[in-house]
């Protein structure tokens, strides 16, 4: 008759442990990358450079809740793209207040550390139009 082929489909003995190992591996790799980026940011110098805002964007995510009320949750993430005087572009996640107070073309002093945003001080500019 030969060996029993049902061992391949033994859910609790084969499939679930492999699934758990893959999930734990994905979590470990993701956590490792996050720690690595955090460490790189901490080792980077805090840079303060003249820059201007060249682009604004927002990302809206909607999550359907798993209850009987058919409710959903929406979150918005805001990003500003800056260009240095040397032509380098950097995009940073900012809070909604800063996003709302910013306009493309604003010039000022950008402060950052690696991929970590510290702030942007706008330089006032005045229009000669009356």
Rounded Cα gap, residues 117 and 111, in angstroms? 7
What pLDDT score was predicted for residue 8?
55
What pLDDT score was predicted for residue 70?
75
What pLDDT digit, counting tens, does each position of 48-107 carry? 999 999 999 999 999 887 776 778 889 999 999 999 999 999 999 999 999 999 999 999
Q: Ramachandran region of residue 43, left (φ > 0), alpha (ψ -120 to 50) or beta?
A: alpha
What pLDDT digit, counting tens, does each position of 5-58 carry? 565 556 667 778 888 999 999 999 999 998 999 999 899 999 999 999 999 999
The H-or-E segment that residue 93 falls in is strand 89-94
What pLDDT score was predicted for residue 78?
97
What pLDDT score was predicted for residue 63?
85
Smallest CA-to-CA distance from 47 within 12, 22, 77, 82 is with 82
What pLDDT digit, counting tens, does each position of 113-129 carry? 999 999 999 988 776 66
What pLDDT score was predicted for residue 129?
61
What pLDDT score was predicted for residue 9?
59
47-122 in CATH: which number?
Answer: 2.40.50.660
């Amino acid at each position: 008759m030969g060996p029993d082929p049902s061992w391949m489909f033994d859910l609790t003995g084969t499939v679930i442990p492999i699934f758990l190992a893959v999930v734990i591996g994905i979590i470990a790799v993701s956590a490792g990358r996050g720690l690595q980026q955090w460490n790189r940011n901490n080792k980077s110098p805090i840079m303060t450079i003249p820059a201007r805002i060249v682009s604004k964007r927002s990302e809206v995510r909607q999550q359907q809740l798993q209850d009987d009320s058919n409710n959903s949750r929406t979150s918005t993430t805001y990003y500003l793209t800056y260009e240095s005087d040397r032509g380098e572009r950097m995009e940073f996640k900012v809070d909604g207040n800063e996003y709302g107070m910013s306009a493309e073309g604003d010039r000022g002093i950008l402060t950052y550390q690696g991929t970590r945003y510290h702030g942007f001080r706008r330089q006032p500019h005045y229009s000669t139009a009356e």
